[in-house]
Chains A and B, each alone.
Chain A
């Protein structure tokens, strides 16, 4: 019963072992002489000012939310992709309608400029305070 998942288990195992090997190799083989500059978050960039936890533009939230919506779309497409050959044209058109409806939402999003991050065009800028 579990045999069918063997490739996945092997893959997970390889990933785990590889990660451990790479991390320990770099620690063992490479030189490790820390100093203050090297431990900066951005070694050759600006010093970070203040905390990362500040008020962010709402555009970030919108992108996160759209990711979830279209991730859910994938959940619906996945079983369809497995089985639509067996179930005739009805199933096919059911999915077409589904995708078209969501696509209209996407067009609206694009036209309203949610994914347009050019600062001049951003209409979602949170008020500064």
Chain B
């Protein structure tokens, strides 16, 4: 059962990833990326990493993708040109680098014969939301509160950067 689910999700992930980079319409690409991220979240679930799967959907498929779509919508990227229209040396370098990284991944996966690793009971224990909650608000309390400061600073900072000077009359400059 797990194997079938994994094959399904893996094929979906690869297909959507290919679809994303080959699609000429940027918005379609972004939507395919959403599907890709969701199928990766499914793989996390198969590995019993509940929390990670949840974050994947909530943050990446949710928030980050909204930002991506936003940027696509607002930036002037209407000249979609094919990758292979103009052959440049940097494409060759990029391709070779990709081959090297692919080779590394194949090499490191070489010893693995099973499709899914055995999920030990210990791994099941640490992946759950409860297990993360247990240490999150006690052992990592300092990091937790610092995150609040960090997020607040980000909100205020973005506002400060975005604000234009307001004259006394209330008109924008």
List residues of A (74-123) whose CB comes within 8 Å of B's CBs.
74-76, 78-80, 82-84, 86-87, 90-91, 94-95, 97-98, 101-102, 104-106, 108-109, 112, 114, 122-123
- Let me know if A53 and B74 touch, CB within 8 A: yes
Say whether B129 contacts A65, CB under 8 Å. Answer: no
CB within 8 Å for A64 and B145 given contacts A53-B75, A108-B156, A108-B159: no
- Please judge, given known A-B contacts A1-B2, A102-B151, A108-B159, whether A53 and B138 are in contact too, CB under 8 Å: no
Task: Flag if A83 contacts B155 (CB, 8 Å).
Answer: no
Q: Is the interface of B mostly helix, strand, loop or mixed?
A: helix
A37 at the interface (CB under 8 A from B): no
Write out the residue numbers on chain B whose beta carbons fall within 8 Å of the beta carbon of A71: 58-59, 62-63
Given A79-B133, A82-B130: A124 and B164 within 8 A (CB)?
A: yes
CB closest chain-A residue, reference B2: A2
Contact A105 B137, beta carbon cutoff 8 Å: no
Complex interface: chain A residues within 8 A of B97 (CB): none
Q: For the complex, what is the distance from the CA of A91 to the CA of B135, rounded to whole Å?
A: 10
B129 contacts A78, CB within 8 Å? yes
Distance, CA A3 to CA B99, complexed state (A): 39
Q: A94-B145, A102-B148, A124-B163 are in contact. Are A5 and B132 (CB under 8 A)?
A: no
Q: Say how far B140's CB is from chain A's closest CB, in angstroms.
A: 10
In the complex, whether B78 has a CB less than 8 A from a CB of chain A is yes
Least distance between A52 CB and chain B CB atoms (Å): 7
Q: Which of A38-89 contact B (CB under 8 A)?
A: 51-53, 55-56, 58, 60-62, 64-69, 71-76, 78-80, 82-84, 86-87
**Which A residues contact B (CB, under 8 angstroms)?**
1-2, 5, 51-53, 55-56, 58, 60-62, 64-69, 71-76, 78-80, 82-84, 86-87, 90-91, 94-95, 97-98, 101-102, 104-106, 108-109, 112, 114, 122-125, 127
- Extra contacts besides A2-B2, A69-B155 (17): CB < 8 Å: A62-B159, A67-B66, A68-B64, A76-B144, A79-B129, A84-B137, A87-B137, A91-B137, A94-B141, A97-B145, A105-B155, A108-B156, A108-B159, A109-B159, A112-B163, A124-B162, A125-B164
